Amino acid sequence: MTNIRSHKGYNPTFGARTWIDPASVVIGDVEMGDDCSVWPMTVIRGDMHRIRIGQRCSLQDGTVIHITHASDFNPGGWPTTLGDDVTVGHKALIHGATIGNRVLVGMGSIIMDGAVVEDDVIIAAGCLVPPGKTLESGHLYVGSPCKQARALTEKEKTFFKYTAANYVKLKDEYLNDQ
């Protein structure tokens, strides 16, 4: 596939039952877990650092995932890591950040270099997570720059596994159509 490319000897690797839309691009040092889905126009570019994506992650249309390279300004750089059961909304940008487990990244959000999003977090649509900011577990974040709005409800916490399972089911339909 021309949409899955090696770079500097690194080949993307994918877990079982992962679906990569032909209109997306995955390059270089990228590892994805089982049951992930990469939707149209998404770019995952591990060319100057590594990208690690856990199990049951869904990267919606137009998402960009990149890294921060090592330099005199940033020794070591920042890889990008997503935990398990992460749903990334349409047109989100994640750049050199660490995302925990059970996170919803809202549509059009930007998560910048060195940011850390702990487990069980909802990032509302259009949020800007500034460089180096940590979003604490169990909260909703809104705004640009983002601010902690409130604690998540128990019902909202059940949504993480629901939405991950829903996208696993949908990508299975796509896999079965091939």
Q: Using one digit for the tens of pLDDT, what is the confidence trace for 41-100?
A: 999 999 999 999 999 999 999 999 999 999 998 999 999 999 999 999 999 999 999 999
Backbone φ and ψ of 15, nearest 5°:
-75, 175
Q: Are 85 and 57 in contact (CB under 8 A)?
A: yes
Residue with tokens 């998560």: 111
- Mean pLDDT over residues 105-133, rounded? 98
User: For position 2, what pLDDT does the model report?
Assistant: 73
Tell me what percent of the chain is helix, strand and coil, each rounded to the nearest 5: 15, 40, 45
CA 132 – CA 150 distance, rounded (Å): 21
- In whole angstroms, give the CA distance from residue 169 to residue 44: 22
pLDDT value of position 113: 97
Q: Which pLDDT does position 131 carry in this prediction?
A: 97
Which pLDDT tens digit goes with each residue over 129-164? 999 999 999 999 999 999 999 999 999 999 999 999
Residue 1, pLDDT > 60, answer no
Domain annotation for the chain: domains and CATH numbers: 4-177 (2.160.10.10)
Instruction: Look up residue 83 and give its two tokens.
Output: 């935990």
Phi, psi angles (nearest 5°) of residue 156: -65, -35
Question: What is the per-residue pLDDT for 117?
Answer: 98
The model's pTM is 0.96
